[in-house]
Homo-oligomer: A and B are copies of this chain.
């Protein structure tokens, strides 16, 4: 027997309609590429989102057709979020940090038909448009009088001219809530990028969960600064959660230096900011010399990579700002966990609290997680045992766009590729990437733990721990080290340095000194390449056997 509640699909259009009706005068402030601040209200955003929908209708774009963006965080990008998805098309946020060839490849793979780009990305568009035959409309996110002449880009129109001619009324269509709403490609370290294809349902459910008190804690009284880019996993869903709560939104555009971010926080009464450690590092570095203070900022959420303890402590102890560690993935819309303490942690000393706050945190309701061993059996939540982290839920990926990479699920669970522990209170902590963890004698050794110890040695500039095949133990860890210029360090001295800092069986079997460790475009160590470079390397213990 079915319940007798109304059959109302969960649609992204309802977010902007709600924001208009209930928070029509709520402010949206954007730093533009021109450098000035643009301000308007949710009612304006709603009106112009409807004009976007009209413009897409006018060019005959069909349901589910893709509209791409190459844009910073700003009001026009926000209008595209609602206008494109709300009218039934799929918003495809391209990552401008990629090489134009990659952007071109992704735009073609996604079959984008419209590309809306910030003028700062004009050179990139000029470099790729000839090889993107599917794009039939280019829209420069600018006023009509700023449209560059002789750009060489065909079918180019300014955003303001494009939407300006459209009527401001529009009846948002109703359709299956499982329809695709937006997409984002992963920056996979191997193989071609693959896309997560979000639905209206997954987006709305994620928006509810993200706004909860133990997650981002968003209310209509908040002023929110999404430093995390709207071109990557929808800025952690903040545009949607902001509309759901009617909070003020402050977009930083492309200016993420400490001074610009600090001034924006102060001028716009920002209470909550979401960003990555590097941006916060610049912010704190700007503030410290002049003894600057926050007058309104209460909380930040930090994700993308692990947050250094010193940063958590600086925000909390020096500035009275709560730091939340968040964890997620493109394949998870993206939020999976946020680290907010429980009542029982109130009484802990600050250092103990910091230890917990360094974890990735507790799952949002809607995300199930578990850790499993190599045999797939679930492992205990004891905060010690680590295993492959798997997740499931209505905003977790089922398969990639066009079926790329086959069926990624394991018994309905998505393998995150991370190795993690989960403690008895449900706090998850990433300990390694699955492909980097060293499997030794049925036990796992965290490559990151080994690297962190090596990096603590004063003579070490960079260290990578990798597993090397071993006939008895399957794998044994070695540490590959780049010495600091002019520093003296022997294999034996570094191995002694590990003593007492790690269990004996987890200690590396060898130290290999190299001149450089291969790095990727974002600064991550490319361990796969390192393993290739070390082909033919033999562990000392095996050399002994051979001899």
Contacts and interface: CB of A to CB of B under 8 A. Distances in A.
A338 B222 CA distance: 17
Given A211-B212, A212-B208, A213-B213, A1 B220 contact: no
A245 B211 CA distance: 12
* Total copies of this chain within the assembly: 2
A299 to B, nearest CB: 12
A539 to B, nearest CB: 41
Interface string A134-154: 000000000000000000000
A394 B6 contact: yes
A466 interface: no
A152 B414 CA distance: 55
B196 A4 contact: yes
B3 A197 contact: yes
Nearest to A177: B3
Contacts of A211: 212-213
A481 B120 CA distance: 74
Given A5-B198, A212-B245, 14 more contacts: A3-B201, A4-B197, A4-B398, A4-B400, A18-B365, A208-B209, A208-B212, A212-B219, A213-B213, A213-B219, A220-B342, A221-B342, A221-B346, A246-B342
20 contacts: A1-B63, A1-B64, A2-B176, A3-B178, A3-B202, A4-B397, A4-B400, A5-B198, A5-B395, A5-B396, A5-B397, A18-B365, A21-B381, A23-B342, A208-B208, A208-B209, A208-B212, A217-B219, A221-B343, A246-B342
Interface of A: 1-8, 10, 14-15, 17-18, 21-25, 63-64, 90, 176, 178-181, 196-202, 205, 208-209, 211-214, 217-221, 223, 244-246, 248, 333, 340-343, 346, 362-363, 365, 368, 381, 392-401, 412, 414, 424-426
Q: What are the 4 tightest A-B residue pairs by CB atom distance, in nearest-first order?
A: A3-B199, A1-B64, A22-B426, A213-B219
